[in-house]
Amino acid sequence: MNESPHPDFLWRNPEPRRAYDVVIVGGGGHGLATAYYLAKNHGITDVAVLEKGWLAGGNMARNTTIIRSNYLWDESAGIYEHALKLWEGLAEELDYDLLFSQRGVLNLAHSPADVREGMRRVNANLLNGIDAEWLDADEVKKFCPIVNTSPDVRHPVLGATLQRRAGIAKHDRVAWAYARAADRLGVDLIQGCEVTGFDIAGGRVRGVRTNLGRIGAHRVALAAAGHSSVLAARAGIRLPLQSHPLQALVSELLEPVLDCVVMSGAVHVYVSQAHKGELVMGAGIDAYNSYGQRGSFHIIERQMSAALELFPIFARARVLRTWAGIVDVSPDASPIIGLTPVENLFVNAGWGTGGFKATPGSGWVYADTIANGRPHPLAEPFGLDRFTTGALIDEHGAAAVAH
Amino acid sequence: MLLIDCPWCGPRDEIEFRYGGQAGVAYPEDPAALTDEQWAEYLYVRDNPKGWFHERWFHAAGCRTWFTVRRHTVTHEIKPGGPDGAPEPGRGRDAPDRRRRFPRGLA
């Protein structure tokens, strides 16, 4: 990081113009990255990002910042590894420190079935050119000494997959960096602007209606995460998505104690320690549909009991804050990227519980899809039509709850 | 934490229940007659409203009844009632008001 003082403003706050070439609905990580790559890769700068709240105040501000690409299926490996490669050069490209830290992610195995699945995942990753290692319980203990690898617990650690290139980043900084870079290339970032409807004529989108008036658009791109169903319904489209709360929490600030990311699908918890010192933990989704940005306490309770079994050293740490984001989960736990039945209206949704890690890759392929009016090759398998053809990308089994 | 009103057992903690999603999704009468689009709609597409939602819950750790409530997906307020005002399971003619109310502390 350079030593110059941080500027007071990273982007302009312009009034919306009457029309744009591309309007992106949703100013979270994916929307901002999409705007940046539209301008940077495709020279399309007549772009507005419309955000109903403030920039990156939804799931971008609520996720647990885990970045990895060790997915099972080829299609997932393709898009998440593309994202990870972009992460590796992102701070330099955007000239902004993202606190991106490739500290390694462990996915623990607690049963013979977990072990088999983990080894399968390692082999699948290696075949896709993604770094992956299998660690036995002793090696897990060496890599992360505070994990309880005693056999005398409810869910003993039998081993783990390790992706060393995986890690965490500082979510706010990622959003700010993309926002500043997009703004500098001429993109209008418009906060407090809620899309209330779409102007569609002859099967083609012509613009959006907002609380700030009508804004014309040649192309409209949805990037609204948990609210994708609500927005798409305003364009007459039913998406195969269900919106759920996903809860997370942080502890009070602690001395450095955990220098990697530990995930366990079987006991529904994932943990890392942020640069500032707080332990960041996530759980599984609450089962019911909700837009309420809060979940039920028993989820936190179970998550804590799992975390304490894995990390007895955390027993006296206190919870500082809990919260929830609203995640849009698709039937196969994979995103939906591409064209819609309405011409020039694009969708990027369904990232569910795992969208943060994909931010650069998602923005990259979505911008390419919008610019060229056809799916980017890495996005093609994730089209809306897969639910009709049956070519699902079923990552539920591979990613379990800790997506 | 939701307090869910089971038609048999009365208000109980959410941890006793399992979620069943949107209510009133009927199995197609003649699945073979459906187009791929219609079959996909049945298999994969459900309402996802921001507001009132008719949904199914299963009292897994209690009477094991499936029933329908209306719940607001922002406020989480819960009201009884199936789709189109249909009676809830357990409250039909074969089940008059046998709803058991446990004293506070025993529920």
Is the minimum CB–CB distance between A292 and chain B shorter than 8 Å?
Answer: yes
pLDDT, tens digit, 9 for 90 and up, residues A232-250: 999 999 999 999 999 999 9
Confidence at residue A11, expressed as pLDDT on a 0 to 100 scale: 96
Q: Are strands B52-58 and B66-72 parallel, antiparallel or unpaired?
A: antiparallel
Residue A234 one-letter amino acid = R
Q: Do A289 and B73 make contact, defined as CB atoms within 8 angstroms? A: yes
Confidence at residue B44, expressed as pLDDT on a 0 to 100 scale: 96
pLDDT, tens digit, 9 for 90 and up, residues B47-81: 999 999 999 999 999 999 999 999 999 999 999 86
Is the minimum CB–CB distance between B99 and chain A shorter than 8 Å?
Answer: no
Question: Is the ipTM above a cut-off of 0.85?
Answer: yes
Q: Has residue B100 got a pLDDT over 80?
A: no
Q: How confident is the model at residue B105 (pLDDT cuts 50, 70, 90)?
A: very low
Mean pLDDT for B38-46 is: 96
pTM of the predicted model over 0.80: yes
Q: Has residue B92 got a pLDDT over 50?
A: no
Min CA distance, B3 vs chain A (Å)? 10
Distances (CA, A) of A300 to A281, A282, A369: 10, 9, 39
Structurally, what CATH architecture does the domain formed by B3-25+39-85 represent? 2-Layer Sandwich (3.30)
Q: Do B2 and A288 make contact, defined as CB atoms within 8 angstroms? A: yes
Of the candidates A213, A217, A212, which has an alpha carbon nearest to the alpha carbon of residue A200? Answer: A217
Q: How confident is the model at residue B89 (pLDDT cuts 50, 70, 90)?
A: low
Which segments within A26-83 are labelled E, that is strand?
47-51, 66-67
Confidence at residue A342, expressed as pLDDT on a 0 to 100 scale: 98
Q: Write down how long chain A is.
A: 403
CB contact set of A272 (below 8 Å; sequence gap of 6+): A64, A65, A66, A103, A168, A258, A260, A261, A262, A279, A280
Q: Has residue B84 got a pLDDT over 60?
A: no
User: Which stretches of chain A drop beneath a pLDDT of 50?
Assistant: 397-403
A251: its two tokens = 């502890």
Which residue in B1, B25, B36, B48 has the most chain A C-beta atoms within 10 A of its own C-beta, making it the best mutation to test that interface?
B48
Confidence at residue A3, expressed as pLDDT on a 0 to 100 scale: 62
Confidence at residue A265, expressed as pLDDT on a 0 to 100 scale: 83
Mean pLDDT for B81-104 is: 45
A-B contacts (CB, under 8 Å): 59
Q: How confident is the model at residue B101 (pLDDT cuts 50, 70, 90)?
A: very low
Q: How confident is the model at residue B90 (pLDDT cuts 50, 70, 90)?
A: very low
Where helices occur in A159-211 by DSSP H, the ranges are: 171-184
Q: How confident is the model at residue B82 (pLDDT cuts 50, 70, 90)?
A: low
